[in-house]
């Protein structure tokens, strides 16, 4: 199956933003190609290196939080209710 890489990039950015720790960093255990595209887009600082985490840029934080709310937000908490349990 062929996947839309931009949608995968958005999902990974949303996951990074949803799992930040207090330094605006998140664990970087995602595909290298995705991380490189997010870096090229200006959403994360350089992911290359021995660090196990990556820091989001200001734009990455903003866009990542928007995407996390859209994709993972709980009903009644400002997120989508399309996955709401009945």
CATH number, position 56: 1.10.10
Domain around 65 = 5-72
Residue 24 lies in a domain: yes
Residue 67, SS3?
Answer: helix
Q: What digits encode the pLDDT tens for the residues 30-57?
A: 999 999 999 999 999 999 988 899 999 9
Residue 84 lies in a domain: no
Residue 80 lies in a domain: no
Residue 23 lies in a domain: yes
Half-sphere exposure of 30 (CA within 13 A, CB side): 23
Taking alpha carbons only, the member of 23, 18, 13 closest to residue 59 is 13
CA 80 – CA 69 distance, rounded (Å): 8
Residue 34 lies in a domain: yes
Residue 69 banded pLDDT, cuts 50, 70, 90: very high
Residue 48 lies in a domain: yes
Percentage of the chain modeled with pLDDT above 90: 67
pLDDT at 37: 97
pTM score, two decimals? Answer: 0.79
User: How many structural domains comprise the chain?
Assistant: 1
């Amino acid at each position: 199956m062929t996947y839309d890489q931009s949608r995968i990039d958005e999902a990974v950015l949303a996951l990074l933003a949803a799992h930040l720790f207090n330094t605006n960093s998140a664990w970087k255990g995602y595909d290298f190609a995705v991380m490189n595209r997010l870096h090229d887009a200006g959403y994360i600082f350089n992911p290359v290196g021995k660090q196990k985490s990556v820091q989001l840029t200001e734009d990455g934080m903003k866009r990542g939080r928007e995407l996390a709310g859209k994709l993972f937000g709980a009903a009644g908490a400002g997120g989508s209710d399309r996955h709401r349990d009945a």
